[in-house]
Structure 1
Amino acid sequence: MGDVLAGFHTVWEFDTDSVLIRFERGIRTPKLFQVLGERRIPYEALAAVELAPGKRGTVALRAVPRPGADPLMDAADGQLKEGSDPYRLVLPAEREVLAEYYADEMRAALGSSGAEPADRYLVTAPAPPRGFKAYDGKASFDGKSVAFRWFWTGASSAKWKAGDQNFPVDELAGVEWRSPEVFNGHLRLVLRDGADAAGCTPRGEQPGAADQDPAAVVFGLGYGLVHESLPFAAAVLEAVRAAEPDEDAMPGGPGRTVAALTGADKARPDPADIADRIRHLGALHDAGLLTDDEFSAKKAELLAEL
């Protein structure tokens, strides 16, 4: 097609085999769009194209992704609000005829796959932040493992007892993301069958409360930003899929993962933060929530980080 269709906050550039979705930056632009920047969506990753009336004199053109084609939408699991849907282009109502033309062109390019689930990711996960802050800890991802580091001001005693966590991607079966905009929002890691990682919820088992689970960080209602945590979850999910046994089926070939940070990129621990965490451990010990041995062991772990 080779044409451009500009809407509110978003521009679609059409090619013969894909559409490049570019998200504008601005005060009124949804923050998730600002983080995404741009994404190329192959037509084979789409199940359908819809055009419907929008609000306040607008029309909305929406590309419907195939199940399993995009790690971002897999992670979101239908929780994104309409205004933050990255597959939705909103236009003035007077451009409805033009929007219908492009909708027909895209439908003709979709092929025969329809709504059939994709057997691999066809859309690349957005570049994730190196880390993001939740209510009870900080999550970081270097392409090979996910790390959770607890905040003494928010983490439960169960998480403090378990200590900071590190989960190699090849030991994970998936990621559970619950939006920070709803009650009990969190990001939880699910353990692959046969793996052995303390605190992580094994595949097929009913998980406990996220605030007590060392394999989860809790957002808190309205805390923990969608625009940071969702691309993070998508990148981890993509890496988990790439680490599955059938690596040849993953986008980009065997062993495809998010690029790892070099040692120089990883920040050194803040001594003041370590001191605060030791003081919090002392408070838990004084309250009888940590035994003498547990307190000594956790203190030694923290001191070893300096």
Structure 2
Amino acid sequence: MAHMGDVLAGIHSTWEFDSDSVLIRFERGIRTPKLFHVLGERRVPYEALSGVELTPGGKRGAVALRATPRPGADPLVEAAAGQLKEGNDPYRLVIPAEREALADYYATELRSVLCADADKPAERYMVSAPSAPQSFKAYDGKASFDGSVVTFRWFWTGASSAKWKAGDQFFPVGELEEVEWRSPEVFNGHLRLRPRGVEPPGEADQDPASVVFGLGYGPVYESLPFAASVLEAVRAAEPVTRPHAAVAPPPRKQRSDPADVAERIRHLGELHEAGLLTDDEFTAKKAELLAEL
């Protein structure tokens, strides 16, 4: 690489080049994609890259330097599965056209340090996922991840009867084999977990191992880092299979966390104020939640 410590500044992010990796620092400006705010910065080893290209920047007077990670090198990219919009691509640096020659120089330098296996899938993750704990509100429940267990707590007003009857769900990462993320910006967006040996129902809305997205529920900048964090933990965990894993275990009954109950009551209050719940429905459900304490 050119010189350790070299910096190439672009729109929304800056690339700082070291001897064996590039540190991508994302801005926190008003116009910066919220996903970049969440990512903060990411260190990408050169061995994690499969290629580099220079393309038009999508705006008049701009070019884009884009690095392509090797398949399997980055859990965020693996979880996104090609669904990220161009503006949310963390491997794309947009640069004013007057600096195109400099961008081309760094593109050439990056290509020169790609490893011999750059065209092959990576055997392990080389770029870290956003760290746990992670949480976000989906349309039908709240998803939480503490680094070892994924929890889905259902919203009475959003969850299907199948999920409500199954009860709140708890998934140790060692019992999972896959994480499926479908962008909330497309129809049927959802986050679905695949427990080992369990065949999931056809629709995410009916699957207690999934949460579904809706307008304002599970946005990309919250749900994608969550999915990547879980996926990284699943790959690192020792597989654990329950006896008779093909049969879903009965819901675990335990007292609810007071903070979670308070949040669910606030959610009910919002629906009540919006006219989506009657006074009687709100009062009855609030009493049910308080009884969980």
* Structure 2 residue 273 is matched with structure 1 residue 270: no
* Structure 2 residue 24 is matched with structure 1 residue 21: yes
**Aligned partner of residue 125 in structure 2, secondary structure:** coil
Report the counterpart of residue 12 of structure 2 in structure 1: 9
Write the distance in 2 (CA, Å) between the matches of 1:49 and 1:222.
35
* Structure 2 residue 125 is matched with structure 1 residue 121: yes
* Structure 2 residue 173 is matched with structure 1 residue 169: yes
CA displacement, residues 215-266 of structure 1 (integer Å, 9 cap, x when unaligned): 0000025532100110000000000000146xxxxxxxxxxxxxxxxxxxx8
**Aligned partner of residue 11 in structure 1, secondary structure:** strand
Write the distance in 1 (CA, Å) between the matches of 2:88 and 2:182.
15
**Higher alpha-carbon deviation: 123-132 or 12-21:** 123-132
Write the distance in 1 (CA, Å) between the matches of 2:200 and 2:169.
20
**Higher alpha-carbon deviation: 176-185 or 52-61:** 52-61
Q: Give unpaired runs (5+ residues) of structure 2.
A: 240-256, 269-276, 278-287
Q: Write the letter of the residue equivalent to 1:142.
A: D
User: Alpha carbons of 1:57 and 1:146: their partners in 2 closer, same or farther (altered >3 Å)?
Assistant: same
User: Alpha carbons of 1:225 and 1:129: their partners in 2 closer, same or farther (altered >3 Å)?
Assistant: farther
Report the counterpart of residue 196 of structure 2 in structure 1: 192
CA displacement, residues 70-111 of structure 1 (integer Å, 9 cap, x when unaligned): 000000000000000000000011111100110111111112
Report the counterpart of residue 65 of structure 2 in structure 1: 61
**Aligned partner of residue 237 in structure 1, secondary structure:** helix
Within-5 A mapping of 1:1-306? 1-2=3-4, 3-55=6-58, 56-128=60-132, 130-193=134-197, 202=198, 205=199, 207-221=201-215, 223-244=217-238, 268-270=259-261, 273=264, 303=291, 305-306=292-293
TM-score, normalised to structure 1's length? Answer: 0.78
User: Alpha carbons of 1:109 and 1:302: their partners in 2 closer, same or farther (altered >3 Å)?
Assistant: farther
Write the distance in 1 (CA, Å) between the matches of 2:89 and 2:49.
15
Cα distance, 1:127 vs structure 2: 2.5
CA displacement, residues 21-62 of structure 1 (integer Å, 9 cap, x when unaligned): 000001100000011000000000000011111221110000
Write the distance in 1 (CA, Å) between the matches of 2:236 and 2:20.
24
User: Alpha carbons of 1:162 and 1:139: their partners in 2 closer, same or farther (altered >3 Å)?
Assistant: same
Cα distance, 1:269 vs structure 2: 3.8
**Aligned partner of residue 117 in structure 2, secondary structure:** coil
TM-score, normalised to structure 2's length? Answer: 0.81
Write the distance in 2 (CA, Å) between the matches of 1:19 and 1:149.
39
Q: Write the letter of the residue equivalent to 2:153.
A: R
Q: Write the letter of the residue equivalent to 1:83.
A: G
- How many residue pairs match? The answer is 254
Write the distance in 1 (CA, Å) between the matches of 2:158 and 2:34.
25
The percent identity for this pair of structures is 72
User: Alpha carbons of 1:53 and 1:122: their partners in 2 closer, same or farther (altered >3 Å)?
Assistant: same
**Higher alpha-carbon deviation: 54-63 or 19-28:** 54-63
Write the distance in 2 (CA, Å) between the matches of 1:20 and 1:275.
40
Report the counterpart of residue 284 of structure 2 in structure 1: none
Q: Is the Cα contact below 8 Å between 1:152 and 1:276 reproduced in 2?
A: no
User: Alpha carbons of 1:51 and 1:27: their partners in 2 closer, same or farther (altered >3 Å)?
Assistant: same
Cα distance, 1:129 vs structure 2: 5.3
Superposition RMSD in Å:
2.2
Q: Write the letter of the residue equivalent to 1:218.
A: V
